[in-house]
Amino acid sequence: MKRILFAAVLLSMVFSGFQTVFAQIDEPTIYVIQKGDTLWGLSDRFVKDPFYWPDLWAANPKHITNPHLIFPGQRLKVYPDRIELADTVPETPVQPAPKAAKEIAEEVARELSFSVNGGEGFLLEKGFNAAGVIVATDHNRELLGEGDIAYTDIGGDSGAKAGKHFSIFKNAGPVSHPVSNVIIGSRIVPLGTLKLTEMEEKTSRAVITNSFMEIGAGAYLMPYRDRRREIPLRASDRDLSGYIVESLHGVITIGAGEIVYLDLGREQGLKTGNMLYVVRDVVPVQKYFDFRPLGKLPDEVLGAVVVVDIGKNTATALVVKSMDAIYRGDRVELIKSK
């Protein structure tokens, strides 16, 4: 009888142990999604099958509306053979879904106008002819700022007089078109302004009255005109397509607030105040449509720019909205107002 009772107790303990083991196997590991995670990568990491991600997406249509858009903070239940999405979803996603072009236009239109301070620069389309050059600095200083003294090669025999103002700028070099590689102009970067104070026959002394960037010997001069102004939005009377060919500072990644230069101008019908969308072609992954012929996919809308200055075949524009990084060579689209 004691042996039977002992066997029963032992069997009960073993069965209880198996229950504990099975319970441990069924209990999932909780993983919190980190920045940079993808469904492909998570499937490969936890299930050892990167092609498992469509099953994860299909099983969670409410929480994963876009299989390419998962948010840091979302929690996954990881089992040995499957992954499930936990019920809790962050209330404020870190990366919102891309906005439609119509929404961008409505947001930009609320501003009505945009201010520019004259430091936007432009593309000089023809030959480069400066009015003068800074030939020396006070005490041979390398860099000048507001209130500092400079010397120019503009003299009284050119008709200039003390008190006349000039814009200071540098020629940052030729700009080639990102598609055709044809040189379309020189990038002119404003540095500031100066005022002539003392005149000689062929030279003059001047004081720096304003500086956008560091000024030094060798900087070019042009007759001053006030470029500070408000740019009201203007409706478009035509459709146009062009490219961002360069930015004011020559940066690789362009965002809101940056100045860019376009290959569209007065000759093409572009006008100051026009708003253009920044768009990029979406290229299908061939292996997912069995090489069947496809029509053009909808463009990816990256942001918007407003034209603040116009040339014959080029324009200066302010990036007023960016949902993603913008690059030289991205396309711009002007859409006719209805």
The answer to whether residues 248 and 302 belong to one domain is yes
Domain with residue 40: its CATH number is 3.10.350.10
User: What pLDDT sits at residue 21?
Assistant: 39
* Residues 6 or more apart whose Cβ sits within 8 Å of residue 115: 228, 229, 230, 231
Host domain of residue 69: 26-85
**pLDDT level of residue 325 (50, 70, 90 thresholds):** confident
> Per the domain annotation, does 10 fall within a domain?
no
According to the per-residue pLDDT averaged within each range, which of 22-26, 64-68, 132-136 is highest? 132-136
301: domain CATH number is 2.40.37
Structural domain includes residue 18: no
Task: Give the per-residue pLDDT at 193.
Answer: 93
Do residues 268 and 242 touch, judged by C-beta distance below 8 A?
yes
Q: Which of 54-68, 118-132, 213-227, 293-307 has the highest mean pLDDT?
A: 213-227
Is the pTM above the cut of 0.85?
Answer: no
Into how many domains does the chain fold?
3
Q: Are 324 and 176 in a shared domain?
A: no
Which of the pair, 103 or 303, is modelled with greater confidence?
A: 303
pLDDT tier at 261, thresholds 50, 70, 90: very high
Same domain as 302, residue 157? no
Domain assignment present for residue 311? The answer is yes
What value does the mean pLDDT take over residues 218-242?
87
Q: Clarify whether residues 40 and 164 are in a common domain.
A: no
Which CATH number does the domain housing residue 168 bear? Answer: 2.40.10
**What mean pLDDT is reported for the chain?**
76
- Do residues 135 and 174 both lie within one domain? yes
Flag whether pLDDT at 210 surpasses 80.
yes
